Amino acid sequence: MSRPASTATVDVDSILRDRIMASADRIIKMMPPAAKAAAIGSVDVAALVFNIARGIPSVETDDPDKAEDITRAIAFKRRLIDEAGGAFDAEAVRKLLGHKTVQAVYKAARDRRLLMVEDNGAKLFPAFQFDGDTIRPAMSRILAAAPGAGGWAVLQYLVSGDGGLGDARPIDLIKGNEADVDRVIRFAGTLDD
């Protein structure tokens, strides 16, 4: 897959950098005691705090269980984005696809021609769905097969697969032949069940 030299996947981390500095103290306070001890003893405290900060809601909590759940959710989302090859922001997608406005990009997502996930307010477009400067044709068919499924559920399916597909990952199969794409679409239909 080739991309124009002027367009690269957005470093999701850079989108959220400003939020992190303002949230670091609050995040450390929210950590369960074991995680806080690990963070304090960690060589890379900044990376740990950063990974936790990516999805912390604006509401503070003194509940260590809630903080731990948030931490797990953040790590899970991060893994999905990483396994999807990273993500673009709307402006990068606009440039990549040659749209005139970012609103056209958001419309493509609303019309289920393009997969979009939201991460703590940031609207992200997983990179695997692009082939050069086009959207892979299978994407609109996959999204149409699961009209009630949210972006994260679709991304999880595409990255993690389904038992019926064996060890094959849908994000790899959509690059294959039509029979492979049809299998991915058929199993995507179960996301609404």
Q: What share of the chain is helix, strand, coil (3-state, %, to 5)?
A: 60, 10, 30
Please enumerate in sequence order all residues whose Cβ is within 8 A of that of 112, keeping only pairs 6 or more positions apart, or say none: 140, 143, 144, 147
Indicate the pLDDT class of residue 34, thresholds 50, 70 and 90.
low
pTM of the full structure: 0.67
Three-state SS across 19-51?
HHHHHHHHHHHHCCHHHHHHHHHCCCHHHHHHH
HSE-CB for 45 with a 13 A CA cutoff: 13
Domain ranges for the chain: 12-83, 98-192
Q: How far apart are CA 184 and CA 168, in angstroms?
A: 10
| Whether the predicted pLDDT of 35 surpasses 60 | no
Residue 8, pLDDT > 50, answer no
Residues forming beta bridges with residue 134, ordered by sequence position = 131
Report pLDDT digits (tens) over 63-122: 666 777 777 788 888 889 999 999 999 999 999 999 999 999 999 999 999 999 998 788
Residue reference for tokens 């609103």: 103
- Give me the chain's average pLDDT, please: 76
Given a cut of 50, is residue 5 above it in pLDDT? no
- In 3D space, the residue among 132, 115, 126, 149 whose CA is nearest the CA of residue 77 turns out to be 126
Q: CA-CA distance, 5 to 56, in Å (whole number)?
A: 34
Q: Decide: 25 and 57 in contact? Cβ < 8 Å.
A: no
CA 117 to CA 87: how far, in whole Å?
10
